[in-house]
Structure 1
Amino acid sequence: MMTSFYSNGKLLITGEYVVLDGALSLAVPTVYGQSLSVKSVQGRHLNWKSLDEKGKVWFQETYDLSSTGNNTLQVTTPTDNPNPSINKAEVSNTLRSILNEAKKLNPSFLKEEDGYEVTSSLNFPREWGLGSSSTLINNIAQWAKVDAYTLLWNSFSGSGYDIACAQNNSPITYQLKDKQPTVKTVPFDPSFRNELYFIYLNEKQNSREGIAAYRSKELDLYTILPKINSITQRILTCTKRQQFEKLIHKHEAIISEILDTPTVKEQFFPDFKGAIKSLGAWGGDFILVAGNKNTADYFRDKGYHTIIPYTKMVR
């Protein structure tokens, strides 16, 4: 018998960094995501295989389930590393940690007499930063029948907005209130969506490093949060691209001041005529661009070839 799970990828449109401190943020689930298939097999072992968007194995490992009485999984004889570009031991330990945390939340998880063959399949490149970790955690949480937010926070750091995107098929607002997630689906479908593009900056950004840098700042959140909240609310009701661009510019200026870092437009695209907004941790992954029919040519000429129209990216 095989069981399957699926989780959406994510993009944070407003509230990067400050979502950690309770800012009202707008996020969108993507058409890209990750699936997890689980098949029962004989023997007390868990054979794990991770596939990239081309169906190629980039990680595999076998874990011993016979010692789960102490709530920890152990690696059996290590398998060959199918991808020399990754630190296999680090990936294996991270996955083992997530599974062990899931067992702590649900002690009956993996207690059956059988073993498992598990295949996790991405339909986007891992370096895109659309949530390879959050989609994995949400899938494992579904399999283990545990709360995905708790599993995330017990395994990693983060606000949890990516889990909310994994679980919803429409844009959402996300806000932490008393450290608890408040998620609302919203009808965000701008009339100027055909003039919006997501462009990959050819560089994977480390979210944990970005969060650590943000946490090192001394911030006046009583001033900052109302400004971000207002921008998010106004973007939700925005009907004209020019208004949207002004709101993007305001948001970028606020985060730029917090991080003491120039905006991505100031650094790399000062001659671009439209508006540009960083998404998630600054310095890599995707940016959101409000432009026109010439936008794709502008970025291609500068060496950026992953250009996805809004309508091809967002659920």
Structure 2
Amino acid sequence: MEKEFYSNGKLLLSGEYAILDGALGLAIPTSYGQSLQVTPNTSGFLDWTSLDLNKNVWFSAQLDLTNLNVVATSDKSMANTLKTLLLEANAQNPLLLTDSEGFKIETHLTFPRNWGLGTSSTLINNLAQWARVDAYQLLWNAFGGSGYDIACAQTNSPLVYQLKNNKPKVASIAFDPYFKESLYFVHLNQKQSSKKAIANYREQQFDTSELVKKITDLTRAMIGATTLSDFELFMDRHETVLSAILKMTPVKERLFPDYYGTIKSLGAWGGDFILATGDEKSISYFKSKGYNTVIPYSKMVL
């Protein structure tokens, strides 16, 4: 019997980097995500196909069902990553692969792969649903990370996320600012490596507890902002705090010094999406700079 699972994509509006050390983060699940379809068969193999937004195959692999060794694949590195995830899922639920003599699995993205909205986290959460295991444990045992993206995958509203004693604390919130029509997400035309970004963060010397407090306070301030100008002030302060820690130039100063609104990096600095405040002129501004993916807040948020 065919089974299908779906997980939401993610964006972290506040708390990037510091969320790893226990800071409170504001996150939104996106209207874009990824599905996973599982069809049992009698092949003796696990045949995997990943389809992109346009339903083109971007990855495929065949794994031996008895030991999950890779028999054939379009990308050896990615196949080994998939094998790692499946082995971990099977370790948590040894009955997973005994449900059938073979499986055909297809994944379908509803956003371009380079957007950085959670190709991996949506996959992990979908696998966890199929395997009936804990998605956070699957993430941490296989890759690491804060886990906020798993929270977004599972939640259909804006949320706050915090690690307390290495356990995820998730709470849905009514974050629906009246000035949301002045918020835009702009893609920087490149996908940033989270692993490299986190490694750079870990190399810096700073007072972790002080950073966690500052970012937590700013997250709460952003949530409670009642005016666009206040929200912009907190966006700027967040950029200033992390710029000093990361020893990196804020994205507005680096790429958009003449922009009339406020800009904040989201997630790993240097790639993926940024959050910009503005108006209908913002779209033409960013497109004139070569950044053609400009998505209004209301269209991005689930």
Q: Same fold (TM over 0.5)?
A: yes
1:252 is the counterpart of 2:239: yes
Compute the TM-score of the two structures, normalised by the length of structure 1. Answer: 0.94
Distance 1:126 1:113 in 2: 31
Alignment-derived partner of residue 269 in structure 1: 256
Q: Which amino acid aligns with 1:125?
A: P
1:73 to 68, 71, 75: 68
Moved beyond 4 Å, runs of 4+: none
1: CA distance between counterparts of 2:156 and 2:301?
Answer: 9
Q: How many residues align?
A: 302
Q: Would you say 1:46 and 2:58 are equivalent positions?
A: no
Query: For 2:247 and 2:131, how far apart are their aligned partners in 1?
Result: 42
* Preserved CA contact (<8 Å) 1:196 1:309: yes
Tell me, yes or no, if structure 1 residue 100 matches structure 2 residue 98: no
For residue 222 of structure 2, the aligned residue among 209, 232, 235 is 235
- Taking every aligned residue pair, what percent have the same amino acid on both sides? 52
Residue 167 of structure 1 aligns with which residue?
Answer: 154
The Cα of 1:221 is off from its aligned counterpart by 1.8
Retained in 2: the 8 A contact 1:29–1:168? Answer: yes
- Residue 43 of structure 1 deviates from its aligned partner by 2.4
Question: Quick check: 1:299 aligned with 2:299?
Answer: no
Q: What's the TM-score, normalizing by structure 2?
A: 0.98
Equivalent position SS for 2:124 = helix
Which of 124, 134, 137 aligns to 1:137? It is 124
Aligned to 1:201: 188
Pairing of 1:152-231 with structure 2 (within 5 A): 152-231=139-218
CA shift digits 1:215-255 (9 cap, x unpaired) = 11112122221111111111111121111000000000000
Secondary structure, aligned partner of 2:197: helix
Structure 1 residue 293: Cα displacement = 1.8
Structure 1, unmatched stretches of 5+, are: 82-87
Match of 1:150 in 2: 137
> Structure 1 CA distance, aligned partners of 2:254 and 2:114?
22
Offset at residue 113 of structure 1 (A)? 4.0
- Write out per-residue CA displacement over residues 164-191 of structure 1, whole angstroms, 9 at most, x where no aligned residue: 0000000010000000000000101110
- Which position in structure 1 is the counterpart of 2:35? 35
> Which one of the candidate residues 285, 295, 300 is aligned to 1:308?
295
Contact kept, 8 Å, 1:37 with 1:119, in 2: the verdict is yes
**Helix, strand or coil for the counterpart of 2:94?**
coil
Describe the SS at the equivalent of 1:199: strand
Q: Which residue does 2:270 correspond to in 1?
A: 283
Hey, what's the Cα distance between the residues in 2 that align with 1:90 and 1:223? 39
Are the aligned partners of 2:40 and 2:100 in contact in 1 as well (CA < 8 Å)? no
> Do the aligned partners of 2:90 and 2:96 also contact (CA within 8 Å) in 1?
yes
Ranges in structure 2 where 5+ consecutive residues have no aligned partner: none
Aligned partners of 1:216 and 1:223: how far apart in 2? 17
